[in-house]
């Protein structure tokens, strides 16, 4: 019995031991599997990281290549910049030298121009003046063909026609400007010039020539010997003697050649004022009280409407306006003058561009 009990215990113990080993093996197997899974997971993670590292390394290599290329370009640009700076420096040096050369040439030109003007002045003084011939209150001159009648108005003696000469007092020719371009160029360069109105010599016979102010003021002398272009003050003296600006015009205008100017009662008014005019009943052209542009010429001045040539070369206002230069300047680009017009009886004073073309009436010295 005892033996059987012992055998039973041994059997049971053997069975229990066998079962414990098996469980341990299973546990270990599970642990091994778990470790395999962990290892595989780690391997996958490491592979992913390796791929990431390889990708980053590839990008780093690309960026390093780009940086290298950019550095090369920067180096090239810096070299170009340095070369350009050297060229700029050289050009600045050349520009400074050219500026100095230009300044020296301008100074030399100014000096030679001044010398030329002095020589011209001396030459004019050395040339014998042409002898005037005075007959029956007229004047003619060898270098300036033509004869000019005169009239005494107050204490002044005026020519009774506009100047019509093509040479200066010393015999040198005054340039004629026919085209607009020639006229504009003369004014721009402040050089003397003359023309006929509309470049038609027939107008010259009636109105004389139109001159720019640079011809009027030329040191060679525009007026014939014994005469001069009047000053602004001398025009004022004439106006005052004839009763002032409001009355002088009618006394100075010729008795024919001036355009009529509508109705003197309403001209210049508003359209309503013209429509209600008691003189012309709004017709103006059929007015019973028109403004006749002609004057009385009681002074003997015989002013005619010779018109003007503007600085751009166009002609305007013949038969309606008569303009005359004075020798008096009003600033760099203007000179004083006076004019008569067909629409009133005034002698009007104004300043005009020196490059414009106006008539000239001379006054005895």
Cite the DSSP H helix spans in the chain.
2-126, 180-188, 201-207, 213-216, 232-241, 245-252, 271-275
pLDDT in tens, 78-123: 888 888 888 888 888 878 888 887 777 777 776 676 566 556 555 6
Beta bridge partners of 271: none
CA angle (303 as vertex; 300, 307 as ends), nearest 5: 175
Mean pLDDT taken over the chain: 81
Q: Which helix (H) or strand (E) holds 343?
A: none
Evaluate whether 194 touches 335 at the Cβ level (below 8 Å). Answer: no
Three-state secondary-structure class, residue 304: coil
Q: What are phi and psi of 113, to 5 degrees?
A: -65, -45
Q: List residues bridging with 140 in a β-sheet.
A: 133, 147
Residues 288 and 291: their CA atoms lie apart, in Å, by 10
Over residues 11-47, the pLDDT tens digits come to: 545 555 556 888 888 888 888 888 888 888 888 888 8
Rounded CA gap, 141 and 144, in Å?
5
Regarding pTM above 0.75, the answer is no
CA distance 264 to 283: 12
């Amino acid at each position: 019995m005892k033996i059987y009990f012992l055998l039973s215990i041994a059997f049971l113990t053997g069975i229990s031991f066998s079962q414990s080993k098996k469980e341990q093996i299973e546990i270990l197997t599970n642990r091994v599997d778990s470790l395999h899974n962990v290892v595989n997971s780690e391997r996958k993670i490491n592979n992913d990281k390796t791929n990431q590292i390889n990708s980053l390394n590839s990008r780093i290599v690309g960026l390093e290549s780009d940086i290298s290329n950019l550095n090369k370009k920067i180096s090239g640009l810096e070299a170009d910049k340095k070369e350009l700076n050297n060229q700029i420096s050289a050009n600045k040096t050349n520009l400074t030298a050219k500026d100095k050369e230009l300044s020296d040439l301008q100074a030399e030109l100014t000096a030679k121009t001044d010398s030329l003007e002095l020589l011209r002045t001396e030459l004019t003084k050395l040339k014998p003046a042409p002898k005037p011939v005075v007959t029956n209150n007229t004047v003619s001159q060898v270098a300036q063909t033509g004869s000019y009648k005169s009239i005494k108005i107050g204490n002044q003696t005026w020519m009774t026609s506009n100047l019509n000469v093509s040479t200066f007092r010393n015999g040198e020719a005054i340039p004629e400007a026919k085209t607009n371009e020639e006229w504009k160029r003369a004014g721009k360069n402040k050089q003397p010039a003359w023309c006929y109105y509309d470049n038609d010599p027939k107008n010259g016979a009636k109105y004389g020539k139109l001159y720019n102010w640079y011809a009027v003021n030329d040191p060679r002398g525009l007026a014939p010997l014994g005469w001069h272009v009047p000053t602004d003050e001398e025009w004022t003296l004439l106006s005052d003697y004839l009763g002032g600006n409001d009355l002088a015009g009618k006394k100075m205008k010729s008795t024919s050649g001036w355009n009529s100017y509508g109705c003197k009662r309403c001209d210049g008014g508003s359209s309503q004022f013209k429509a209600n005019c008691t003189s012309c009943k709004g017709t103006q052209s059929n007015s019973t009280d028109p403004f006749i542009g002609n004057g009385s010429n009681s002074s003997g001045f015989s002013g005619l409407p010779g018109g003007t040539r503007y600085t751009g070369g166009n002609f305007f206002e013949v038969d309606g306006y008569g303009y005359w230069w004075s020798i008096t300047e009003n600033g760099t680009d203007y000179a004083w003058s006076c004019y008569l017009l067909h629409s009133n009886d005034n002698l009007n004073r104004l300043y005009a561009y020196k490059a414009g073309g106006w008539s000239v009436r001379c006054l005895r010295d």
